[in-house]
Amino acid sequence: MPLGYFDYKKDAFGPICGTPEVLIRELKLTLERDCQMEPVYLERQRRFFEIYDNQNCERTYLAINEICNEKHRKTKQSH
């Protein structure tokens, strides 16, 4: 998948429901599977996410903090 491109029909992590009726049908099917993702969606998820662990919040915080620090450094340098 090219960077920055996401096609919901081909790349989504679950069925796309265009109507309330389809949504209800898919919810029922999901409950019948004991809320387990279908293998096709698990594979999409595995391919999409580079890192799959429980450290996402920390990585997000550090990335945002780095961006803020960089902007702060640039602002100080321009004054």
pLDDT digits (tens, 9 = 90+) for 7-53: 888 899 999 999 999 999 999 999 999 999 999 999 999 888 888 78
Alpha carbon distance 51, 78 (integer Å): 37
pLDDT tens-digit series, residues 66-75: 999 987 777 7
Per-residue confidence band for 79, with pLDDT thresholds at 50, 70 and 90: low
Q: Using a cut of 0.75, tell me whether the model's pTM lies above it.
A: no
Q: Which helix (H) or strand (E) covers residue 33, if one does?
A: none
Instruction: Match 């920390």 to its residue by tokens.
Output: 58
Please enumerate in sequence order all residues whose Cβ is within 8 A of that of 42, keeping only pairs 6 or more positions apart, or say none. none
3, pLDDT greater than 90: no
Domain regions of the chain by residue span: 8-78
